[in-house]
Amino acid sequence: MSDQQLTCEELVEIVTEYLDGGLSDAERERFEEHVVVCSGCANYLDQIRMTIEIAGRVTVDDLMEETKTELLAAFKDWKRE
Amino acid sequence: MDTVDSSYVPPPGQAAIVDALKRGDEHTFSDLVTEYSPSMLRVARTYVSSRAVAEEVVQEAWLGVISGIGRFEGRASLKTWIFRIVTNIAKTRGEREGRSVPFSSVGGREGEGEAAVDPNRFLDSGRWAGHWTSAPSRWSELPEEQLVGDETAGIVKAAIAALPEVQRTVITLRDVEGWSSEEVRNALDLSETNQRVILHRARSKVRNALEEYLDGEQT
Amino acid sequence: MIAWKFLAPGAMGPFSRVTWPTPTGDAPGTWVEAQVHPCTSGIHACEVSDLPYWLHAELWEIELDGPVSRAGHKIVAPRGRLLRRIEAWDRNSMIAFCQACTVRIREVAARSEGAAEYLVDLEADAHRSAAATVGYIAAHAIGVVDGAEAAECERAAQAGFLSNRLGLDVAGR
């Protein structure tokens, strides 16, 4: 059975594929069976999930105000045509 | 229109937005510009040489939206349609500028050969080779205020800012703005594998930065 | 079909992170439909022989509906609902499970140095009642010493232990 087991080092490289639903059913089961028995990898998976969650709260830069104003002017022009 | 499948159902509320645009409703247009422009800039930036050119691309794209909305038939989502316009304009501009390296190949190179976690964190021999030497800690046991605090979000923001451009773009679209992998692939012209490799490297690095910060504070 | 399902504390799916509706009084929990999504094949559950692979904080009896199919160490159905929690799966049972594994591995360790090393690992995890890990190490160690078939036998012994201790014999009810 050891020939089929994932190591932790391998698992951390497919975690993105796992979360995106990109693994086959068999690979997915191998991944999940590993996480059940390995607290280190269970924590790692949690950490990646939290990383995504925290990234979702980050605010991003906006378009320059003058560009926005110009665009709105262009929209008004188009409307008049 | 290349990625549209016949079973496509537009998101709720899209028809109303499209109608409003066709009528020339300024509020709707202004809201869309506010909502999508930052991502459009980011996408454009990956094809052209400077922020200034990227702004021009975004502007041109919105003009394209204005003039083309009358022909929009709702067979793809409005968002997909808008980003197709940005991508096409940005690509043309990039080619004219002589940015000859296709984005997708840059993406591939950026991800290669980097481990998600420092290889020293794993045993290199013995019966548990490949298993953790120092396992990741349980962040869920940290105080809630720390995890949701501005300082932690700041660490993530800084870590994202420090990434190579392609990685920064992909993780920002996926995780900060919540795009699906398909939307990112379409806008950036990436293969599924490339998109995933790039996102994987980006997330791994941001997690590393967070770990350094959160676990450092504990001890 | 009646089957078993391990959940994280609070009746949460350990991977889906979905909180399962729990039974109230005599009424079963409401049906949970598998999402129609190419990547989620359905509601996952265990037959007794699958249990050792998925040990988690809470064990529930689950009713599955629709065509049930086997996929590796689990069964999959389009929908399911929780019937009752198996209260006997508690900390004491986890400790007893770990002890039973330890006893079997000691026997193997007595005749194999390879297994003796694993016994040390296993005892460390048994000490913190990490039942899933202990079950895995036991099967893994036996597999290394006596081969894959012996590892399967160890998993079967673990399943038998759980079935006995927790009274999961469906035919008997």
Task: State the pairing for strand pair C79-85/C32-33.
Answer: antiparallel
Residue of chain A nearest C144, judged by CA positions: A2
Which residue in B47, C8, B87, C68 sits closest to A46, CA to CA?
C8
Asked if C83 contacts C28 with a C-beta cutoff of 8 angstroms, the reply is: yes
Confidence category of residue C169, pLDDT binned at 50, 70, 90: confident
Residue with the larger pLDDT of the pair C96 and C171: C96
Query: In C, which residues are within 8 Å of B128 by CB distance?
Result: 121
Q: Which amino acid is at C58?
A: E
Q: List strands edge to edge, sheet with C75-77.
A: C43-45, C75-77, C69-70
Residue of chain C nearest B126, judged by CA positions: C117
DSSP B122: B
Residue B172 sits at the vertex; the CA angle it makes with C12 and B31, to the nearest 5 degrees, is 100
Helix/strand/coil for C31:
coil
Encode pLDDT of B14-33 as tens digits: 889 999 989 888 899 988 99
DSSP A16: H
Name which of B128, B133, B138 to mutate to probe chain C: the one with the most chain C Cβ atoms within 10 A of its Cβ.
B128
Element (H, E) at A21: none
Instruction: Please state the pTM of the whole predicted model.
Output: 0.84
Asked if C96 contacts C165 with a C-beta cutoff of 8 angstroms, the reply is: yes
Encode pLDDT of C36-90 as tens digits: 444 467 899 999 999 999 999 999 999 999 999 999 999 999 999 999 999 999 9
Name which of A2, A25, A30, A37 to mutate to probe chain C: the one with the most chain C Cβ atoms within 10 A of its Cβ.
A37
CA-to-CA distance for B37 and B33, rounded, in angstroms?
Answer: 5
Which value does ipTM take for this structure? 0.88
Which residue in C97, C46, C53 sits closest to C74, CA to CA?
C46
DSSP B4: -
SS3 breakdown of chain B: % helix, strand, coil, rounded to 5?
70, 0, 30
Give me the mean pLDDT over the C149-173 stretch: 88
C62 DSSP β-pair partners: C3, C82
Residue whose pair of structure tokens reads 């003058």 in the numeric block: A66
pLDDT (tens place) for every residue of chain B, 219 residues total: 444 445 566 777 888 999 998 988 889 998 899 888 888 988 898 888 888 899 899 999 999 999 999 888 888 889 999 999 999 999 999 888 876 554 544 444 544 568 999 999 999 988 899 999 999 999 989 998 888 888 999 999 999 989 998 899 999 999 998 999 999 998 888 999 999 999 999 999 999 999 999 988 544
Query: In C, which residues are within 8 Å of B127 by CB distance?
Result: 117-118, 144
Task: Calculate the alpha carbon distances from B156 to A26, A58, B163, B217, C152 in Å.
Answer: 33, 8, 11, 15, 45
Element (H, E) at C137: helix C131-146
CA-to-CA distance for B22 and A79, rounded, in angstroms?
Answer: 9
**At what angle are helices B14-23 and B26-45 packed, to 10 degrees?**
110
Which residue in B44, B39, B38, B37 sits closest to B87, CA to CA?
B44
Residue whose pair of structure tokens reads 């975690």 in the numeric block: A15
Verify whether the Cβ–Cβ distance B139 to A46 is below 8 Å: yes
Verify whether the Cβ–Cβ distance A58 to B210 is below 8 Å: no
